[in-house]
Amino acid sequence: MRRGFGLITAIVIMITVATLMTLMIGLSSTSVKVTLDLYLKEQAELLSRSATEYALLAISGHENNASCIENINISYPKTSPTHEANITIWYIGNGIPIACSNILVNNIETNESNLTVIIDTVVSVNLNNTGITEPIRVHRRTIQKP
């Protein structure tokens, strides 16, 4: 009778330990996934800020008399990119060249509002180079006066 009870106790203990180990491995892999997702999302938010500043710099350095910058695409980093930023620029105000197709309003009468831009920055994380399963996408819209 004692031998049978000892065997059943040993089996119950082994099953309990195996269940606890399975739970610990599952929690550990979930923790790694959440940490990776948070890291990539934070990188995407920082890249959206940098891309917006880059777009402002590009507009400021561009001669807007004949043409205008409407789209900018950035891949980060250059080798095996994990993030892609797509920037669309919309123009508001008088004096914008006719060749621009992204003009929202061109009949503004106040000089302070002329050549105002709305910058839409969308940063998405490349699923192939990062190993994540859910897409991460950050959208940032700003209105600026270059």
For the whole model, what pTM was predicted?
0.76
Q: How far apart are CA 30 and CA 96, in angstroms?
A: 51
Question: Is 32 in contact with 62 (CB distance < 8 Å)?
Answer: no
pLDDT in tens, 118-132: 999 999 998 877 778
80: pLDDT strictly greater than 90 = no
